Structure 1
């Protein structure tokens, strides 16, 4: 009798095995069928055959909704971009790059301003004051004071979410708290099996709200995808209302005259630092275009 295939979700990759949870919630340690050539990612929905108790073979990958490359994960609904209130102070250039990448992949972003019990610096004030008015959700959190945790859980309910951001922003401590694991800084979480600053691979964890969340290694440098220069501003929601005031339909909002976006910057409707970060990305995109001509 031929074994039946089941649909499952890849929770983690470790030691050459793929850990797949089926719809009833049973976890299987799986290998790959030899015919599969595409790389399997955490978050992939797969068809697999159970070979014996707790083990199986992955037969095929279901079509993906999207995929991120840093971290490598598929079928993401939301990205929580974690920036620290201080120590380290938030990098608005990195934040804008991350926001662009998340929107480019058609994923919902939410900014998490962690360690809100610490003092503010200039970038923290800019972040807190500008981005909500630009249309982005922002949640202030503190693990030590239990602030903002329920708001994240409410947004993550029923979704597959990712925590992303630079090292030192407190992602591992935050994910411990979201999972209901209370540990002091530097201790090893029994549930996750690692300590502070030791995230080395991507893994999905079940949240008490019914969603899934992935921690990811910290990073500071992100390559841009193959976006065209005339498309870049499409991923800046705070530019959209002002683009109608541009003389040219393909305006890059850079050296052109009669540009509605530049007028909005001059009027303070778009933050100057946000616009300058856009110009840095635009120059990078244009450089890539010149290289491939």
Structure 2
């Protein structure tokens, strides 16, 4: 019996050394591909939804969840603009419905490196990232798909409410846009997200122009989001929030007075009032 036990132990040790992907063992190697609100989870739609849907403002950057190499980068009828990454830890991830792809097949990427811009391409009903993790290679029937929330917590995707700009004792309150600047470049340089910049400045989209003044903090004003309720009018909301209807139109890029239930509206509130 002793030789048998010895052989069994050798086989057990050998099996345990085989590189099998393990979500719990590799949590530290992952980062969130984007910060935003989870709008749909793994396993919904009768079990057919094999990933997470994460909504975020238009123009936000999507980053690689871990080190690896781009295995696919193309336009799909269903995924839209999509990137696949095979990771050094044995997994493969999918980033779908992008507005723009910044990496091509074969590119090496580092964890947290920008690979695309969030979008609404393919079979999609709003700006969001569809994110999948596969324990092994992606297959057409998605047999290796796993719930990303076994690697991440839901809280991990939530944007930070406070952003601190490292590198200077005092952060500038405003900046003048220069020729060639983009909102993504200014956001990165000042330790802010694109979504935060859009919110603070009441922008309708990420497009900016030379000479434009942009706020970099909320020292004078704070932002509130009002969700339009059934029966609301622009003037009723303005009266309720203590602002003018024209101001709400300007902050939200509205061209008329038409609003709809569940529409989010940015409201600027003077801290001194």
**TM-score (normalizing by structure 1):** 0.26
Q: Which has the higher contact order (CA 8 A, sep 6+)?
A: 2
**TM-score (normalizing by structure 2):** 0.28
